[in-house]
Amino acid sequence: MSIVETIMQYIGAALILGGSVFCVIGAIGVIRLPDFYSRCHAAGVTDSAGAAGVLFGLCFMSAPLIAFKLITILAFLWLSSSVATHALVQAAYARGVRVENPRVKDWTHGQETSAKKEGEA
């Protein structure tokens, strides 16, 4: 095994472990954060940083074809999960789901009526 491969494996291992850590952190966020929108953010961390870490890390360990598939998965994942979250948040907002975090000004409250109207249109 050449030095280059070894270094690649180290980088890969580091990325995988880093991605795993991001996943767990994000998951804790999904549990602990107070309202829907901030939980969305936490879930997003697992889907972006977590997924990227794990999948890029695996890329470093694998043959070109496998790496290509991994990149494809990552591309699909990034596109689909971010879009799904976006659509979901928009729907939730239109339905008047509130921000619960007391330290942030609840600006949904003021616009609730117009949001409701839009949602029913």
Partner 1 sequence: MIETNSIALVFFAFLLVIGVAVTVQRNLFAASMLTGIFSLVSAALFTLMDAVDVAFTEAAVGAGFSTVLFLATLALTKDTEKPGVKRPFAATFVVLLTGGALIYGTLDMPAWGTSEAPIHAHTASYFVTHSITDIGLPNIVTSVLASYRGYDTFGELLVVFTAGTGVTLLMQRKGLFRPGALAIPPKSRAPYVREMPVVRAVAKTMLPFILLFALYVQAHGDFGPGGGFQAGVIFATGFVLYGLIWGPAKLQPIIGGRPVQGLMASGVLLYGGVGVFCLLMGYPFLDYSALTPDHPVHGQHYGIFLVELGVGITVSAVMLIIYFVFSVRPRVGRGAGELGP
Partner 2 sequence: MTLSDHLPVLLVLTPLLGAPIVSLFRSISRPLATLLAAATAAIAWGLVQQTADGSELNYHLGGWAPPIGIEYEISMAAAWTVAVVSTLAFFSILAGCHNAAREVTEGREHLYYAAFLLCLAGLLGMATTGDAFNVFVFLEISSLSTYTLVAMGKGRRSFTAAFNYLILGTIGGTFILLGIGLAFQATGSLNIDDIAARIQDLRGSRTVLVAFGFLATGLSIKLAVFPLHQWLPGAYAESPTAVGAFLAGTATKVIYFQLIRVCVMLFGASYVFEELHFGTLLRWLSVFGMFVGSLAAVYQTSLKRLLAFSSIGQVGYLTLALSLGSELGVRAGLLHLAAHGITKCALFLVTGAIVATTGSDRLSRLAGFGKRRPLIAFAFVVGGIGLIGVPGTAGFVSKWALLRAAFESGHTIIAVLSLASSMIAVVYVWRVVEVMYLKPSVETDSADGSRPWALMVPASILLAVSIGAGLYSAPATAYASRAASTLWNRVPVAAGLPEPRPVHHDDAHDAAAEHGAHESAAPEGQAGPEEGSTP
Partner 3 sequence: MMVFAAAMATGALHVVYAIAVGALVLTMALVLYRAVSGPTVYDRIVALNAFGTKTVLLIAALGFLYGRPEWLDLAITYVLINFVGTLAVMRFSKHGSLTREAGDDTSDSGGRDVNVATAAVPTGDNAR
Please provide the size of the chain in residues.
Answer: 121
Select from partner 1, partner 3, partner 2, none the partner in contact with residue 4, using the beta carbon and a kind-dependent cut-off of 5 to 8 Å. Answer: none
Select from partner 1, partner 2, partner 3, none the partner in contact with residue 21, using the beta carbon and a kind-dependent cut-off of 5 to 8 Å. Answer: partner 3
By CB under 8 A, residue 66 contacts partner 3? yes
Residue from 7, 73, 87, 104 that binds partner 1 (CB under 8 A)? Answer: 87
Select from partner 3, partner 2, partner 1, none the partner in contact with residue 47, using the beta carbon and a kind-dependent cut-off of 5 to 8 Å. Answer: partner 3
Largest CA distance in the chain: 66
Per the listing, tokens 């995988």 go with 16
Tell me phi and psi for residue 50, to 5 degrees: -60, -55
Residue from 13, 28, 83, 104 that binds partner 1 (CB under 8 A)? Answer: 83
Q: What is the Cα–Cα distance from 45 to 23, expressed in whole angstroms?
A: 7
User: In the numeric block, which tokens belong to residue 116?
Assistant: 């409701």
